[in-house]
Amino acid sequence: MNIETIALDADDTLWVNEPYFQATEKEFCALLKDIMPEDKISAELLKTEMKNLELYGYGIKGFMLSMIETLYKITDAKADIKLVRKVIDLGHDLIQQPVELIEGVEDTLEKLSKKYKLVLATKGDLLDQERKLKASKLGKWFVHIEVMSHKTPDNFRKLIRHLEILPKNFLMVGNSIQSDIIPVLEINSYAAHIPYSITWNHEKHEKELEHPNLFKLEKIEDLLNHLI
């Protein structure tokens, strides 16, 4: 392998993210359980999120707006304004969740940085990702920070051109098959999949993926066995 640059996803690869969203969703459903069963509320919320992805992108702000829209939909636009306030408070609480690093991240980044250029390549709300990166104190390991609206093959090609390397010199590390792995394999780069215990429904990939450029790992420290 001729890997020179390693890009790492942030949410649920470097730090905990999805459990906070799921806990917030559970609180949202509990607010409305007298109107509709909680599983149906979750289904309506996901449907609204998918519809709004092109408008809001990924992140907490889009999630909050989708909760408000779902609230109005399932109450036939008759929601008490106090309920809207509670939903906004849920979003504010989500934004202020602490940044909890996944075990092994700091040591792995330190060792990789001695041999490779490291890049943070994530998607989501720019302000929120900047906040989390600052709180994580991991910024010192990265030579470049890329916050994408969507992780597509074209956006990865742009990143690689910016880094002035070839696709064969690039490895992407992440927890999402859909976002971190498939688009990178499509441009003939390398990818390392490190599954996280919880996955957002939109990011789930049911089929087993096989590819000569794909590493399947159990934890982030396993990168060291392949690359150091």
Residues facing residue 193 across a β-bridge: 174, 216
Rounded to whole angstroms, how far apart are CA atoms 126 and 197? 25
- Would the pLDDT of 45 be above 60? yes
Q: Which pLDDT belongs to residue 105?
A: 98
Domain 5-15+100-227 belongs in CATH node 3.40.50.1000 = yes
Q: Which pLDDT belongs to residue 78?
A: 86
Q: Which pLDDT belongs to residue 175?
A: 95
- Residues of the chain within CATH 3.40.50.1000 domain(s) are 5-15+100-227
| 72 neighbors 81 (Cβ within 8 angstroms) | no
Q: Which pLDDT belongs to residue 197?
A: 77
- Would the pLDDT of 147 be above 80? yes
Rounded to two decimals, the pTM is 0.90
Q: Which pLDDT belongs to residue 204?
A: 54
DSSP state for residue 213 in the 8-state scheme:
T
Q: Which CATH number fits domain 18-95: 1.10.150.240, 2.60.120.10, 3.40.1280.10, 3.40.50.1000?
A: 1.10.150.240
- Residues of the chain within CATH 1.10.150.240 domain(s) are 18-95
Tell me the pLDDT of the chain averaged across its residues: 93
- Would the pLDDT of 202 be above 60? no
Q: Which pLDDT belongs to residue 57?
A: 86
Burial class (CB in 10 A: 0-12, 13-18, 19+), 60: buried
Rounded to whole angstroms, how far apart are CA atoms 227 and 91? 39
Q: Which one-letter amino acid corresponds to residue 1?
A: M
